[in-house]
Amino acid sequence: MLGLMQQHPLLISSMITFADRHHGGTEIVSATVEGALAKTGAKHRYTYREAHIRAKRLANALIGLGIAPSDRVGTLAWNGYRHFELYFGVSGMGAILHTINPRLFPDQISWIANHAEDKVLFFDLSFVGLVEKLAPHLNCKAYVLMTDEAHMPAQSSLPNLLCYETLLAAASPDYAWPVFDENTASSMCYTSGTTGNPKGALYSHRSTVLHVYGAAMPDALCLSSRDAVMPVVPMFHANAWSLAYACPAVGAKLVLPGMSLDGKSVYELMESEKVTFSAGVPTVWLGLLQHVDGNGLRFSSLNRTVIGGSACPPAIINRFKDQYNVDVLHAWGMTEMSPLGTVGTLKAKHDGLPIEKQRETLYKQGHAIFGVDMKIVDDTGAELPWDGKAFGDLHVQGPWVTSGYYKRDGETVLIDGWFPTGDVATIDPDGYMQITDRSKDVIKSGGEWISSIDIENLAMSHPAVAEAACIAMAHPKWDERPLLVVVKKAGQEISRDEMLAFFGGKIAKWWIPDDVVFVNELPHTATGKLQKLKLREQFKGHVPA
């Protein structure tokens, strides 16, 4: 027997339609790319109702460009209102939005765009030079510069260069969002491709809408119409962790920071727009905290931020809470998971615990949100206990977890229906997961595993350390031993011996690194993660002093 419920497919267009109808006057504020390039700090503001009208104009414009359902539409763009319109205009009309990371190497970008078979490329004003270099290697039929006529270049080598605002002005706002199967592909993101070519995760309307429901729940990001949300995580990085969808779905004010992500710019936008919630990778918050600390500033409205992308050092969590009364939600996920998997919110049982005990839980990546299941397994695939001590390979499953990669149909990705994440983790009896390493980064010394993340977190709690990375170096007896690579804070000094002595009594003696080297900066991937592969290459053959 089937239930007697109405049949309404879960479609991305429903979220902007809902925002228009029920939160139509709520603002979307953007720091414009034009303003950043001209150093005027100009902002654009409009409402969900106006955004919806423009998204429908965009859908008509895409049809006029020959875009049909399932065609891929590429973007090279920052977090701004035009990119927001593409999120809904492209997917809503049945095409597939392909957000490309502009921080990748040009040959990677061209490979990704051609592999996805992007028919049209939309790009921000700051990427004109990049796209001109890429165009001879791309198969796009048209290029759309996301600006107005006043900012169009006087001349360009790009074929079929169009102006975004001119396209929209010529398009009708009369458009009825089509209804189709909710399993239809909606958008795609490629992994960072640290080894080999990047791989494409192809999301569906159903997976995206369900992900929004999961992300917005109280024990996840706890989003509501009372929030002013500023995603510093880029809209080209795993759908901005769903925030570009979740904000209209709950009616939250949306604040988009554009291309200026330095500490000063982020802080000033947060303050002027009374941001209550933000999201980004640890490196962004390091810059923000340095600006706030260095200028004796406070946060007047920010009350919580979600930090993910890579493990957040406890020192950052402590600084936000102790100095500024801002709660950090430690989160974990992957491009292949749309991306959210776990969030570090506390349970009622933690309320009466001492702060130190609560922090031990908050430092972990958190518990699964509804829609995600997880387990840890050993090398044979046997499931390991949730005792907070055993650590093994982390596997996940759920309705917004990938089942395979785009154009890799013959490849087996799942193991007995579970997706192997490549992370090594523990899970405690309360279901809180903690990443101890990437499987390729784990240090195996004398047959025992050492967590590089634990060592990095401890190093970053030293007042003279700005950033740290721990990698394995070869050892004739123990096979591998830890090497700590450190960036000092400006104006601070610490020696190798002082750094090693700092670990004494805080971790097992055999976990203490064999050596420390100091560098001016650490290499990061295009999504802000530590690039340990480069460090391992740089320090290959390193011998302790």
List active site positions: 191, 336, 444, 449
Q: CB-based contacts of 154: which residues, under 8 Å, 6+ apart?
A: none
Cα(399)–Cα(450) distance, rounded to whole angstroms?
A: 33
Order across the sheet with 72-76: list the strands.
161-163, 142-145, 118-123, 72-76, 96-99, 185-190, 200-204
Which 3 state secondary structure label does DSSP give 521?
Answer: coil
Cα(196)–Cα(152) distance, rounded to whole angstroms?
A: 37
CA-angle at 204, arms to 203 and 207, nearest 5°: 90
Residue type at position 281: V
As given in the structure block, the two tokens for residue 202 are 């192809």
CA-angle at 360, arms to 357 and 217, nearest 5°: 100
Residue type at position 479: D
Token pair 């500023």 is found at: 230
Whole-angstrom CA distances from 67 to 51, 124, 156 are: 21, 20, 24
Q: Is 514 left (phi over 0), alpha (psi -120 to 50) or beta?
A: alpha
227 neighbors 356 (Cβ within 8 angstroms): no
Largest CA distance in the chain: 74
* CA 253 to centroid of chain Cα atoms: 20
